[in-house]
Every structure is written in C-alpha cells, then in structure tokens.
Amino acid sequence: MIVAIDGPAASGKGTLAKRLADHLGYACLDTGLLYRAVARDVAAWGFRLEDPWAAVAVARGLDPARFEDPELRGAAAGDAASIVARIPQVRAALLSYQRAFARQAPGAVLDGRDIGTVVCPDADVKIFVTASPEVRARRRFSELDARGAGVAYETVLADILARDARDADRAISPLAMAADAMLLDTSNLSIEAAFDAAVGLIKRKIGQ
Ligand code: CDP
Ligand code: CDP
C-alpha cells in the first residue's frame, strides 16, 4: 500500500505524512530531504548548486544514513534544494531509491512534490495538501521565531512565494496535483483536524 502526499512548502504535508505512517504502521519518507542532502553535499564539495555534473554525482552516491542532519531542516537548505531539484538528471538519479522505499511491506507514506505524479503514479492513495501562502508563511515564521531566528514574517512570505514559483514553473516534475489526487486544504485546520480529514479521505478511497 502506497500513500502519496504532495503539496507546497509548509502546507503541513510532512507532519501529516508522519502521523499517517504512525497510524497505519507504515514506513515514512520525506523526499524533500533527498534534495536538501544533495544541495548540502554539492555545496560542501565547493561546487555551484546549478552545476549538473556535481549534483548528479552527489545524487547517485547519496547516503540515506546522512539524511538525519538538523541543518537540512532549515530555510536555506530548502531554497538550495529547489535549485538542484530543477536538474532532470538529479531527479532521475533519486527515483529508484524512492520507488524501492515505496514498495516495502506493509506499506509506505512518501511526501514531496511529485510523488503522485511521477515517483508513484500508481499509489493507492494520493493526497494533495495545500494552504494559503499567508497561512503557510505564518506557520514557517512561528517555527523560525520559536528558534529565535529573528526573521520578519514578510521575508518568510516572500521566500515561500519564490519557492512556490520555482517549484511550479520548472520543466520537469513541477509541483502539480495528480488528476486522481484528493485535495486537502489545511488553511483552517489544526494538525489534529487535518489528520482526521486525511483518515476520512483514505477510508473513502480504499473503503476501510
Ligand atoms: O512538510 P511541510 O513543509 O509541508 O509542512 P510541515 O513541516 O508539516 O508543517 C509546517 C509547520 O506548520 C509545522 O510547524 C507544523 O506544526 C505546522 N502545521 C500547522 O500548524 N497546522 C497544520 N494543519 C499542519 C502543520
Ligand atoms: O518542507 P518543505 O515543503 O519546505 O520543503 P521540502 O519538502 O523539504 O522540499 C524542499 C525542496 O525540494 C522543494 O522546494 C522542491 O524544490 C524540492 N523537492 C522536489 O522537487 N521534489 C520532491 N519530491 C521533494 C522536494
């Protein structure tokens, strides 16, 4: 059983994916971490993020053991990730790892931008999570503020809009809702309410 969760930055897809995976007893993969890790390693080697050769070499040798790096969760890593994510060969190099992860028993939940459209077009359940840019910026701002990052809300909103545009406009695997995905707008939903709504959608889809 494969559950595909896609959506823009700070829509709540990661939180939802983890809650669903715990609930269902499935493995969970935050695929944004793959792109974040590629960008981190390209920069660490001293190459430009736009350099396709460096990025592809890193993507081919990516070590999943090194995804659990707190640095990867930051806003800068997300921006850097969206630059290497535009390189088609990088996306291709990361496909087999994601697909193998998705196929494990008893099931897997993957979240990202192109899980329902490209990585797992045959996923049993596809949910496209969204929220207004202002709500998403407010959420990201609260996270950063709690960490004492000293960043302005307006800056966070501008970053969210810029990353949305970069992800939606790219030629390969753009952020898009699969034709057979179910839409979940979390703008006015708490984490708990979004989880309950998603469980309802899944039950409706697979009839359990
Ligand atoms: O993975 P993604 O970037 O889509 O978002 P996330 O990391 O799951 O959520 C971003 C922030 O919004 C986190 O601090 C969540 O706790 C919060 N959130 C929320 O306030 N309400 C929701 N319904 C979902 C997430
Ligand atoms: O949590 P948030 O939505 O802010 O970011 P993320 O899911 O960690 O993704 C970071 C960046 O990686 C995104 O802005 C995309 O450019 C890229 N990404 C992608 O292209 N495809 C995926 N399946 C996941 C992430």
DSSP-derived 3-state class of residue 145:
helix
On the CB side of 88, CA atoms within 13 Å amount to 2
Q: Is residue 12 part of a domain?
A: yes
Say which CATH number the domain at 15 has: 3.40.50.300
Q: Is residue 206 part of a domain?
A: no
Residues paired with 185 in a beta bridge? 130
Ligand 2 touching residue 36 (CB < 6 A): yes
Q: Is residue 207 part of a domain?
A: no
Q: Is residue 10 part of a domain?
A: yes
Place of tokens 């949910």: 127
Q: Is residue 77 part of a domain?
A: yes
Number of folded domains that form the chain: 1
CA dist 135 and 137 (Å) reads 5
ipTM: 0.97
Q: Is residue 99 part of a domain?
A: yes
Q: Which amino acid is at 182?
A: M
What is the whole-number distance in angstroms between the Cα of residue 20 and the centre of ligand 1?
14
* pLDDT over 80 at 193, yes or no: yes
Nearest CA to ligand 1 atom 18: 12
Tens-place pLDDT, residues 63-112: 888 888 888 888 889 889 999 999 999 999 999 999 999 999 999 999 99
- How far from 131 is each of 11, 49, 160, 199, CA to CA, in Å? 5, 29, 12, 18
* Sign of the CA dihedral running 119, 121, 126, 129: positive
* pLDDT over 70 at 146, yes or no: yes
pLDDT of 207 reads: 78
Question: Was 64 annotated as part of a binding site?
Answer: no
Q: Is residue 162 part of a domain?
A: yes
Residues 6 or more apart in contact with residue 139 via CB below 8 angstroms: 10, 12, 131
> Residue 19: which domain range?
2-201
Radius of gyration of the chain (CA): 16
Question: Was 205 annotated as part of a binding site?
Answer: no
Q: Is residue 183 part of a domain?
A: yes
What is the chain's mean pLDDT, rounded? 94
